[in-house]
Amino acid sequence: RFPNSSRMSTSSTSAATPGDTILVIGAGGQLGLELTQELRQRYGASNVVAADVRAPKDAETAQSGPFELLDVLDKNRLEEVMRRYQPKQVYHLAALLSATAEKNPKFGWQLNMDGLFNVLDASVDLGVQKVYWPSSIAVFGPDTPRENTPQLTIMNPNTVYGISKLAGEQWCEWYFRKHGLDIRSLRYPGLIGYKSLPGGGTTDYAVDIYHKAVAGQPYECFLSEDTYLPMMYMPDALKATLDLMHAPAGQINIRSSYNLGAMSFSPKEITASIQRHVPDFKVSYQPDSRQQIADSWPASIDDSRARQDWGWQPDFDLDKMTGDMLLHLKQMQA
Ligand code: AKB
């Protein structure tokens, strides 16, 4: 489907070689924090440069390896950082999520699109070997089939975030075709982890709810009890991201972004799963503007292309995730 690129060997395996530098932009975010830790463990802390618009809050990112203050909208500064470290791989994770972007539409568009262009252009100019950029289930909209949403289907997103992610996917494919840039992408569902908090998303309730349960407090959910959304535990998200990045280029047949699934549940079901460990945990429902966003997204995802092309398989379902989340959050509280 795609022409062979002169910049990229389709048979090469794609793990970073020891000593190669990796740059993570948005390293202080929900995914960035954990991905940076994972990459540092695998490739050596000094080989993974964390960059974020804010100084790191957590001691691990701050002390375990190089850190650069970087606003991805500042193209000169981005190029300066990239020239200094000469990264072979760039993970560009900085973005405004769905709920926040609806409140700041112009800035959401600017950060999500101009930030991506800055990274794509600098990567082409400076000969970066591989780029990772996350997309989202937000690329789908109210006209999309909601159950088992296929890879290729009607999209029509109706949020600023979704529009920016869909446009971004198309641009990634274009840079691959025109410039041979080896850029890879996943459409993440809602991500849930105990190490980091999400900010400004529609799926954030599924993280907040565990924190309340462990704190012994009731939770007021901003989505209605029967709102099903695709979700994923962070260890699976890290595994998917690194498996995709390590796959030989010839196996990556989708250069926009891969559907990625693991589990699908409603607030009522996650509550029941938590109550199996914390029987007196109470949840009430007060849907707000995020309900409309959730209603426009898929309830479950068909990720068969990811399974076929590079062997994707999740490890966690809802109950396994709940057990692990509660265990770690309790340990952190102790
Ligand atoms: C959000 O809720 O905005 C994100 C996403 C699904 O991309 N977690």
Nearest CA to ligand 1 atom 8: 190
User: Cα–chain-centroid distance for residue 11?
Assistant: 26
The reply to whether ligand 1 has any atom less than 6 angstroms from the CB of 136 is yes
pLDDT of residue 60: 65
- Contact status, residue 72 vs residue 78, Cβ threshold 8 Å: yes
Asked about 161 being catalytic, the answer comes back as yes
- Contact status, residue 71 vs residue 80, Cβ threshold 8 Å: no
Nearest CA to ligand 1 atom 4: 201
pLDDT of residue 48: 97
pLDDT of residue 59: 66
Expressed in angstroms and rounded, the spacing between residue 232 Cα and the centre of ligand 1 is: 11
How far is it, in rounded angstroms, from Cα 119 to Cα 78?
8
- Model pTM score: 0.94
Could you identify the atom of ligand 1 that is nearest to the CA of residue 203? 2
How far is it, in rounded angstroms, from Cα 110 to Cα 96?
10
Backbone angles phi, psi at 156, to 5 degrees: 45, 55
Strand partners, 284: 220
135, 166, 185, 202, best to mutate for ligand 1 pocket (most atoms within 8 Å of CB): 202
SS3 content of the chain, % helix, strand, coil (to 5): 45, 15, 40
140, 169, 188, 233, best to mutate for ligand 1 pocket (most atoms within 8 Å of CB): 188
How far is it, in rounded angstroms, from Cα 204 to Cα 171?
27
- Contact status, residue 117 vs residue 181, Cβ threshold 8 Å: no
Q: What DSSP state is assigned to residue 46?
A: G
How far is it, in rounded angstroms, from Cα 198 to Cα 208?
9
- Contact status, residue 189 vs residue 231, Cβ threshold 8 Å: yes
- Which contacts (CB < 8 Å, 24+ apart) does range 237-242 have? 237/31, 237/188, 237/191, 237/193, 238/34, 238/35, 238/38, 239/315, 240/186, 240/306, 240/312, 240/314, 241/35, 241/132, 241/186, 242/38, 242/39, 242/42
The reply to whether ligand 1 has any atom less than 6 angstroms from the CB of 138 is yes
- Contact status, residue 258 vs residue 303, Cβ threshold 8 Å: yes
Q: How high is the mean pLDDT in each 10-residue block of the chain (334 residues)?
A: 41 58 97 96 96 83 86 98 98 98 98 98 98 98 98 98 98 98 98 93 98 98 98 98 97 98 98 98 98 98 98 98 98 92
Characterize the bridge pairing of strands 258-259 and 186-188: parallel
Confirm whether the ipTM is greater than 0.85: yes
Backbone angles phi, psi at 89, to 5 degrees: -130, 140
